[in-house]
Amino acid sequence: MKRILYTLSTIIFLSSCQSINKAVERGDYETAISIAKKRIEGDKKKSTKHIKILEEAYHKALKRDLDKVKFLTDENRPENYDRIFEIYSDVKYRQDALRPLLPLVGKDGYRAEFKFIKVEGLLKETSKQAAAYHYRTAGSYLAKAEKGDKWAARKAYDELGLVHRHYRHYNDIEELKERALFLGTNRVLVRTENRSLVAMPIGFEEALLAMDIKGLNDRWTEFFTIKPSYANIDMIAEMEVTRFDVSPEREHVREYRDSKEIEDGWDYFYDENGNVAKDTLGNDIKKPRKVWIHADILEIKRTKFATVGGIVKFYDARTTELLNSKTFDVTSNYSDFACSYKGDRRALSSNTRSRLSNVPAPFPTDESMALRAASKLKGIVVAEIKRFII
């Protein structure tokens, strides 16, 4: 049994070494370090093999990182500071992960040596350089944004956000972000125009514009139904109603009869002598009596609809150029049904029973039908605004 356990432990050990070695061979030093570190932490006797692999992977990873830093530094490009900062951060993380293991001595007395570099000062200096670079770049973009370039304003905002990766508070960064946000925002005026030559019902236009305009706002787009006093409008979303129609009230009446044959008591059989016939047990012989029953059904169906048609147009507010348009056609339908009967309920078919209801509801007014159509139209307009603008 001991021999089997020894063999299994040997296989696991060799498999572990092979997987770590393969990671080192393909340059995946982080994986090799992670595996070796876990093996060492779980091994009271500290395998020298794992310690040496960990040592090798660590120094190769450090050399790779320092070579990359030298290359990026020699390029002398300020945009490289972020990458250099990330590399130094990786070095610090790796060193901090190994410190709890030190001193690291194998079961045969082998003592590992790890070269640690003082990375804190390098991180601080690199962070300072990166923040300064993004701050300067944001300033250049803001200068263009002040001349009306919204794309530049958004780039400035992004650059200022990168400063936050290094410093929570930096110069006047919060004020500059607010300025970039203001300059980079598209402002859209939403309005309606009635070109249908039909007087709109009272409250129709108000209901149409009562959509959740503010709910459409995002970081770079702001919507209004009234021109703001503090900024210019960039785009106009116009709902042009070209057709408005409310149908007449229609009522369709149908009358029909349900009939059914049912059993209603019974009749006796009589013999040739006029006496009630008997069966072999002496009981009276009788047969079911069948009769026809009837019910007269009155069915009333009421319908009405309102249709609003037109086009959604998007204009450049400064040049009045038509940027895009989309036609729409919205119908609000009203339908009500009532079914009643006179006669014997037992005569009703299952289909008629399922449709029994009270008297039909009154027809809705033209105004309420128009407002229903307006509610549907709002959904279409919002979807089109999101598709085209947002």
CA within 13 Å, CB half, 50: 26
pLDDT for residue 135 = 97
How far apart are alpha carbons 35 and 30 in whole angstroms? 9
Type of residue at 293: I
Read off the pTM. Answer: 0.68
How far apart are alpha carbons 144 and 68 in whole angstroms? 34
Q: In this structure, are residues 292 and 244 in contact, taking their beta carbons and an 8 Å threshold?
A: no
Residue carrying structure tokens 């006496």: 275
The DSSP symbol for 290 reads: E
Residue 54 to residues 31, 109, 378, Cα–Cα distance (Å)? 10, 16, 65
Domain at 186-390: CATH architecture: 2-Layer Sandwich (3.30)
Q: E strands of 166-234, at which residues? A: 186-194, 221-224
pLDDT in tens, the chain (390 residues): 433 333 333 333 444 455 777 888 787 888 888 888 888 877 677 788 888 888 999 999 999 999 999 999 999 999 999 999 999 999 999 999 999 888 888 888 899 899 999 999 999 999 999 999 999 999 999 999 999 999 999 999 999 999 988 998 999 999 999 999 999 999 999 888 888 877 777 777 677 656 667 778 889 999 998 899 999 999 999 888 888 888 999 999 999 999 998 888 888 888 788 788 888 787 888 888 889 999 999 999 999 999 888 899 999 999 999 999 999 888 999 999 889 999 999 999 988 888 887 778 889 988 888 888 877 887 888 788 878 876
Instruction: Find the helix packing angle between 29-41 and 81-98, rounded to 10°.
Output: 20
Residue 236 to residues 205, 223, 317, Cα–Cα distance (Å)? 17, 10, 6
Region of 171 please: left (phi>0), alpha (psi -120 to 50) or beta. left
pLDDT for residue 2 = 37
How far apart are alpha carbons 268 and 286 in whole angstroms? 4
> What's the longest Cα–Cα distance across the chain?
132
Provide the 10 A C-beta neighbour count for residue 258: 20
